[in-house]
Amino acid sequence: MIEKIYRALFCLEDLREILRETAPEHRLSDEQRERFGSILNEIKMILGDKRSDAKIKYVVDEIELRTREEEFINIAPIQAAGRLTAEARKALIAYGDGYSTCDYCFKPFRIDYIKRPPINEFIDELAEFVGMDAARVVRGARNGFQIVSNALLEKGDIVLVSSLAHYSLCLAIESVGAIWKEVPLSEDNIITGENTGTKIEEVKEETGKLPKLVAISHFDYLLGNEHDVYGIAKICREYEIPFLYNGAYTVGVIPVDGKRIRADFVVGSGHKSMASPAPTGVLATTEEFVDTVFATTKLKGDVTGRKFGIKEHYLLGCTVMGAPLVAMMASFPKVKERVKHWDEEVDKSNFFIAQFLKIKGNRVSSEMPRKHTLTKVDTTESFDRIAKTHKRRGYFLYDELSKRKITGIFPGATKEFKLNTYGLNWYQIKYLGEAFNRIAEEYGVGVED
Ligand SMILES: *Cc1c(COP(=O)(O)O)cnc(C)c1O
């Protein structure tokens, strides 16, 4: 079915291509009209033929069609909440041309001032959405870290990160010559305000200065545990150290109120959690830091005297443009709505985990009960035992899941792996739980009723 839909879609693009070949006065030539007609017929044939077996595998050359969201239940940890809405996919088709968002860009020539499509309103709404004063769309959460690092840090400055911090945050800090140090986890694998305070004191003692920034994710990417961002922000306030709230796994799925948290920066990821294409993300801040991170250009050319208006230099002027930006905007109404239903996502996550834990030997490495849809599970005492004697070794689990049209776990992993149930409906959740149970039963692992 999906291949048929792709075939028809591609034909429609070929029709569009013909329009792009015409000159306004000439309309379609005979040859073009003929080609148009034959493509139209092909579409009718594709859609009309119930048995249609003419399959296609490639977009072009070696670029395969991507069909896993249509053909599988995808529980890939990083992909679940970045799946596009239908609206976003339509926007991609319509705004795919390079600098498409520049059609109606007038003075002062900045992407966040464009009114058609209403990018300006979107940027304002984004700030409100995360409870901050000002926001910009950036090229992924990592670009948000990079912008803040550039604006705030000098060589040798110290930044506190979580012991579960994402590599991209550490690299952003390193890239400006600053140093990251880790706040240790509590016994429950949580970053607390207390541990953050202790680490601040340690750094002060060792180096004689305070960290320049504390950057901690609300939910980490390794366990999907919730960290005490309120407590951390409070400690940061006391020491007057700016706090960056990393919402890569929250902004776009959970309501986030940066001001209530008392964060100085909120960073989110469009392609991870806002149903947006890559590379997209959000960087938001308060009045206090607007002029620092969104600083405008001051220099002028020594030969020409040229200046670049109000371009923001840490952002390199315009950030995300064209199709990714418009698709992010197109998804936004649904994203705003879906954060209100986070509780149900957590319910489904816990429902699945309860099913999963019926399998003898299965454990959960993340905190319990689950507060997120991203979970790390431990199957050392169940599936890994089977892997030891299976001819496909660890791949057997991946194979068995694939057979049941489930994808997204790391091929070969049978000890510990992550999965994300975000966005699956109840029917799919139950199917997923049953699939794991059936696999366990087939290999003689006990399953509770
Ligand atoms: C995924 C992730 C990032 C990186 O996000 P991008 O938008 O791809 O740059 C950063 N931090 C955490 C905690 C993440 O999970």
Between residues 153 and 28, which one has the greater pLDDT?
Answer: 153
- 344 C-beta neighbours (distance < 10 Å), count: 11
- pLDDT at position 1, please? 86
Give Cα 115 distance to the centre of its chain.
Answer: 26
Q: Please say if the pLDDT value at position 55 is more than 90.
A: no
Beta carbon of 247 within 6 Å of any ligand 1 atom:
no
- The whole-angstrom separation of Cα 93 and Cα 16 is 11
Beta strand 158-162 pairing with 179-183? parallel
CATH class belonging to 100-338: alpha beta
Whole-Å CA distances, 278 to 170, 174, 261, 273: 20, 23, 27, 11
- 233 C-beta neighbours (distance < 10 Å), count: 21
- The whole-angstrom separation of Cα 244 and Cα 213 is 7
* Residues with Cβ within 8 Å of residue 266, at least 6 apart in sequence: 130, 131, 132, 244, 245, 247, 251, 256, 258, 282, 283, 284, 285
20, burial (CB in 10 Å: exposed 0-12, middle 13-18, buried 19+): exposed
State the chain's maximal CA–CA distance in angstroms: 82
Band of pLDDT at residue 359, cut at 50, 70 and 90: very high
CATH number of this structure's domain 357-442: 3.90.1150.10
For 136, the enclosing helix (H) or strand (E) is strand 134-138
Beta carbon of 370 within 6 Å of any ligand 1 atom:
no
- pLDDT at position 24, please? 77
Q: Please say if the pLDDT value at position 285 is more than 70.
A: yes
Q: Please say if the pLDDT value at position 82 is more than 80.
A: yes
Q: Look up the pTM and report it.
A: 0.97
Q: Token digits for 377?
A: 């599970």
Whole-Å CA distances, 56 to 16, 59, 290, 416: 20, 8, 50, 36
* Residue at 243: amino acid letter: F
Could you tell me the distance, in angstroms and rounded to a whole number, from the CA of residue 431 to the centre of ligand 1? 29
Q: Count of alpha carbons within 13 Å of 291, Cβ hemisphere only?
A: 3
Q: From the alpha carbon of 140, which atom of ligand 1 is closest?
A: 7
Could you tell me the distance, in angstroms and rounded to a whole number, from the CA of residue 217 to the centre of ligand 1? 9
Residue range 186-225, pLDDT digits in tens: 999 999 999 999 999 999 999 999 999 999 999 999 999 9
- The whole-angstrom separation of Cα 183 and Cα 160 is 6
Contacts 24+ apart (CB under 8 A), 58-64: 59/10
357-442 has the same fold as 100-338: no
Beta carbon of 217 within 6 Å of any ligand 1 atom:
yes
For 376, the enclosing helix (H) or strand (E) is strand 374-378
- The whole-angstrom separation of Cα 447 and Cα 359 is 4
Q: From the alpha carbon of 144, which atom of ligand 1 is closest?
A: 9
Whether the Cβ atoms of residue 220 and residue 227 lie closer than 8 Å to each other: yes
Residue range 379-424, pLDDT digits in tens: 999 999 999 999 999 999 999 999 999 999 999 999 999 999 999 9
Residue range 427-438, pLDDT digits in tens: 999 999 999 999
* Residues with Cβ within 8 Å of residue 321, at least 6 apart in sequence: 99, 100, 101, 102, 111
Beta carbon of 276 within 6 Å of any ligand 1 atom:
no
Domain spans of the chain, in order of start: 2-65, 100-338, 357-442
Whether the Cβ atoms of residue 331 and residue 274 lie closer than 8 Å to each other: yes
Beta carbon of 396 within 6 Å of any ligand 1 atom:
no
Beta carbon of 249 within 6 Å of any ligand 1 atom:
yes
Beta carbon of 168 within 6 Å of any ligand 1 atom:
yes
For 181, the enclosing helix (H) or strand (E) is strand 179-183
- pLDDT at position 6, please? 95
Beta strand 58-60 pairing with 63-64? antiparallel
Mean pLDDT for the chain overall? 96
